[in-house]
C-alpha cells in the first residue's frame, strides 16, 4: 500500500460542512475544492431561438438538467462578441455577449437562475490573444510600426534581407506558422504578428502594462455581475521568452496525430515562462477582493498544458490561482499502472501548496473518452469505469457535456468541418481530428435531429450535423432507464456528495496486482479492472456502493470499476 498524500499535512484544511443541496462547501467557503464542474460548450448545449446554434437562454432553460445530474457548478465556454473563427476563443469585446448567444441581460438571467438552483457559474477568460476584429488590433494595424497601438501585440520585424522571413520558427498550435505578415498602410509588406493559434487570434503583449490593467478591469466586470469563477484559457502562454528564440521543433515522424495536446505541451520559449505567475498573483488579489461579497468566494482554474505535475502545481501556489487542469489523467492510456502513476505524481505535487487536484477525461478539444477507450460497448464500459475512478478521488472533477449520455466522437464529414485547426492541418500527414467531432450538439429528446436541441423544425440539422441513431441516447430516453449512463452518473454524483467533504484528501494506492487500479480514501475503496479477465477483489473491501458495470461478486469484471465501503 502506498500513501500518496499526507493527511496530517498542516496545509490541508480539514473539510466539514453542508453536503446537501448546492456545492459541498467547506467552512472556509472554498466551494471549488471538491466540486464537480460541468462544461457547457455554448454552441452545442441548448438552442433557445431555433437558429441551430446554442445560446444563453437555451442554457438557462436546461439548468434543471444540471441540478438533477447533481453537479455543483457549470463552466461556460466563451459567449462574448466574436467573429467565431475559433468559436468564441477569438474575442472582439470582452464586456459584451455576442448576439448569436443573446445579450448581457440573458447572461444576468442565466446567473440568477443558476444561483437559484444552487449552481456556481464559471466563465471562460481568453487573455493570451484577442480576435483580429478587436478594436485594439484594428488600431494596431492602422497605426503602423513603432506605435503604442502595436505595442499591445507581438509585432516584430521579419528576418531575411527584406524582412520576408518570419521572426522565428515557431509553429502555430493549430498547424502552420505562428506568424503572419501584414501589409502596411502604404501597401508595402510590413511587420509580422505572432499568433500561437489561428491567424485571426493575435497574441497580446503581456510585457505591456496596459494589457494587465485591461484584464483586471475585465475580471472585475464579470465578478461584479456575479460570476463565481473563471476558466483561464491558455494560462501558460501569456509571456514569451525575451528575444523570441527559435524553438526545437517536434519530430514530424513521431507517432500519433498532431493535436493541441501534443503541441501545447511542449516545454518551449512560448510556454510556461516564469513571468506569467506575477499575473496570477495579481488576479489572486482581485478575486480575494470579493471574499466577503454576498455571493461568496470566487476562483479561477488555469488551462495550463505545462509539462510536469510540478510545473502545473506552480499555478496553484497559495497566492496564485485556485486550480489548474490536470490533463495527465486525460492523457493516460487504459492501464492500471498509468492511472496509478498519475495519482502518484499529482497528489504530492500539490501538497506544498494546499490546493486540491482536478481530474478530467473529456473536453471540447479532445476526442471523447468513450471513443479513445475503443468505442462501442467496450469504450463505454471503460469510460464509465474511468469516470467512477475519477469521481472517487479527492479534489474537483470536470465533466464535459454529453459524457453523462455516453456520447462518442462523431465522424464529421470534411464539408461540415468548422474547426480552424482542421483547416490548418487537413493537408498534412497529421490532420487534427479532435475537435468538431466532440462538439456536436447534444440530444435532449425526440426521434430525429435536432433531438430537441432547439425548436428548429424536426429533421433540420444544427450547426454541426447530429448523427442518426442518437434517439436512444437522449436525456429523455435515458432518464429513469435502468442501467443507462445518465442514471449511472446521477447515482455516482449523489453518492459522491455524501463523502466528498468527509473522506479527506489522502489516497492510499492498494497493491492489487498489475490489472487493478485500486485505492482507499477514507471510508471509500475504489477498484478498477483494466485487465481482460475477471479479477479477485483486494482484501479489505466491504459493502458495494456502486458499480460502473456488472455488480461484482467475489470478482470484478474486466473494464469495470466499483466503489465499496472500507470493511
Q: Return residues touching ligand NOJ (CB under 6 A).
A: 86, 89, 126, 197, 233-234, 303, 364-365
CB of 88 to ligand NOJ, least distance (A): 9
Four-point Cα dihedral 299, 311, 432, 449, nearest 10: -20
Cα dihedral 224, 226, 229, 235 sign:
negative
Nearest residue (CB) to ligand NOJ, 89 versus 230: 89
CB of 173 to ligand NOJ, least distance (A): 7
Cα–Cα dist 147/167, whole Å: 19
Nearest residue (CB) to ligand NOJ, 106 versus 233: 233
Phi first, then psi, for residue 427 (nearest 5°) are: -95, 15
Position of minimal CB gap to ligand NOJ: 89
Nearest residue (CB) to ligand NOJ, 359 versus 517: 359
Phi first, then psi, for residue 286 (nearest 5°) are: -65, -50
Sheet holding 120-125, edge to edge: 323-324, 299-302, 229-232, 120-125, 73-76, 36-40, 396-400, 358-360
CB of 61 to ligand NOJ, least distance (A): 25
CB of 361 to ligand NOJ, least distance (A): 15
Q: What beta strand segments (E) does 481-567 contain? A: 508-509, 516-521, 524-529, 535-536, 541-547, 555-556, 560-566
Q: Extract the C-alpha cell encoding 382.
A: 471503460
Helix (H, G, I), strand (E, B) or coil at 545: strand
Computed over its alpha carbons, how large is the radius of gyration of the chain? 23
447 has catalytic annotation: no
Four-point Cα dihedral 366, 403, 527, 9, nearest 10: 70
CB of 99 to ligand NOJ, least distance (A): 21
Of residues 294, 410, 421, 351, the one with CA closest to residue 4: 351
Q: How far is CA 479 from the centre of its chain?
A: 26
CB of 77 to ligand NOJ, least distance (A): 7
> Interhelix angle for 104-116 vs 209-225, to 10°?
60
338 has catalytic annotation: no
Nearest residue (CB) to ligand NOJ, 418 versus 498: 418
Nearest residue (CB) to ligand NOJ, 124 versus 559: 124
Catalytic choice (55, 98, 268, 303): 303
Q: How far is CA 237 from CA 204, 304, 439, in A?
A: 10, 8, 24
Nearest residue (CB) to ligand NOJ, 126 versus 546: 126
Catalytic choice (47, 55, 132, 233): 233
Nearest residue (CB) to ligand NOJ, 89 versus 206: 89
Write out the catalytic residue numbers. 233, 303
Amino acid at each position: 500500500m502506498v500513501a500518496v498524500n499526507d493527511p496530517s499535512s498542516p496545509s490541508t484544511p480539514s473539510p466539514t460542512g453542508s453536503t446537501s443541496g448546492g456545492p459541498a462547501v467547506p467552512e472556509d467557503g472554498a466551494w471549488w475544492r471538491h466540486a464537480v464542474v460541468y462544461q457547457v460548450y455554448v454552441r452545442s448545449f441548448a438552442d433557445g431561438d431555433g437558429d441551430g446554434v446554442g445560446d444563453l437562454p437555451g442554457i438557462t432553460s436546461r439548468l434543471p438538467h444540471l441540478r438533477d445530474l447533481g453537479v455543483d457548478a457549470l463552466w461556460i465556454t466563451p459567449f462574448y462578441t466574436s467573429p467565431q473563427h475559433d468559436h468564441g476563443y477569438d474575442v472582439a469585446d470582452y464586456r459584451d455577449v455576442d448576439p448569436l448567444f443573446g445579450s448581457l441581460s440573458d447572461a444576468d438571467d442565466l446567473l440568477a437562475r443558476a444561483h437559484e438552483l444552487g449552481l456556481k457559474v464559471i466563465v471562460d477568460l481568453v487573455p493570451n490573444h484577442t480576435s483580429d476584429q478587436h478594436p485594439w488590433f484594428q488600431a494596431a494595424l492602422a497605426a503602423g510600426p513603432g506605435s503604442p497601438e502595436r505595442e499591445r501585440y507581438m509585432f516584430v520585424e521579419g528576418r531575411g534581407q527584406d524582412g520576408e522571413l518570419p521572426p522565428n520558427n515557431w509553429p502555430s498550435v493549430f498547424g502552420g506558422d505562428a506568424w503572419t505578415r501584414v501589409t502596411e498602410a502604404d501597401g508595402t509588406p510590413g511587420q509580422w504578428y505572432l499568433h500561437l493559434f489561428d491567424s485571426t487570434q493575435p497574441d497580446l503583449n503581456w510585457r505591456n502594462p496596459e494589457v494587465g490593467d485591461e484584464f483586471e478591469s475585465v475580471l472585475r466586470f464579470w465578478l461584479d455581475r456575479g460570476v463565481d469563477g473563471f476558466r483561464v484559457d491558455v494560462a501558460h502562454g501569456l509571456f514569451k521568452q525575451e528575444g523570441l528564440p527559435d524553438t526545437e521543433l517536434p519530430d514530424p515522424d513521431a507517432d500519433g496525430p498532431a493535436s493541441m495536446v501534443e503541441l501545447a505541451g511542449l516545454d518551449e520559449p512560448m510556454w510556461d515562462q516564469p513571468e506569467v505567475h506575477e499575473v496570477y498573483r495579481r488576479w489572486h488579489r482581485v478575486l480575494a477582493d470579493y471574499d466577503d461579497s454576498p455571493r461568496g468566494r470566487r476562483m479561477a482554474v488555469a488551462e495550463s498544458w505545462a509539462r510536469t505535475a510540478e510545473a502545473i502545481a506552480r499555478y496553484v501556489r497559495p497566492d496564485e490561482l485556485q486550480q489548474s487542469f490536470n490533463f495527465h489523467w486525460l492523457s493516460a492510456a487504459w492501464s492500471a499502472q498509468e492511472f496509478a502513476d498519475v495519482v502518484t505524481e499529482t497528489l504530492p505535487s500539490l501538497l506544498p501548496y494546499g490546493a486540491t487536484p482536478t481530474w478530467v477525461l473529456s473536453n471540447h478539444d479532445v476526442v471523447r473518452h468513450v471513443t479513445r477507450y475503443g468505442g462501442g460497448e467496450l469504450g463505454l464500459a471503460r469510460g464509465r469505469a474511468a469516470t467512477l475512478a475519477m469521481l472517487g478521488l479527492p479534489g474537483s472533477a470536470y465533466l464535459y457535456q454529453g459524457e453523462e449520455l455516453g456520447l462518442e466522437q462523431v465522424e464529421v464529414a470534411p464539408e461540415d468541418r468548422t474547426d480552424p485547426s482542421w483547416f490548418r492541418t487537413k493537408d498534412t500527414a497529421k490532420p487534427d481530428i479532435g475537435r468538431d467531432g466532440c462538439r456536436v450538439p447534444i440530444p435532449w429528446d425526440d426521434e430525429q435531429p435536432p433531438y430537441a436541441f432547439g425548436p428548429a423544425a424536426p429533421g433540420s440539422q444544427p450547426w454541426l450535423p447530429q448523427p442518426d441513431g442518437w434517439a436512444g441516447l437522449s436525456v429523455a430516453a435515458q432518464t429513469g432507464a435502468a442501467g443507462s449512463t445518465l442514471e449511472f452518473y446521477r447515482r455516482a454524483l449523489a453518492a459522491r456528495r455524501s463523502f466528498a467533504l468527509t473522506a479527506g484528501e489522502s489516497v492510499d494506492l492498494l497493491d492489487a496486482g498489475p490489472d487493478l487500479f485500486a485505492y482507499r480514501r477514507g471510508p471509500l475503496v475504489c477498484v478498477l479492472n483494466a485487465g481482460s479477465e475477471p479479477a479477485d477483489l483486494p482484501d479489505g473491501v466491504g459493502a458495494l456502493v456502486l458499480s460502473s458495470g456488472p455488480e461484482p461478486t467475489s470478482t470484478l469484471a474486466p473494464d469495470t470499476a466499483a466503489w465499496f465501503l472500507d470493511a
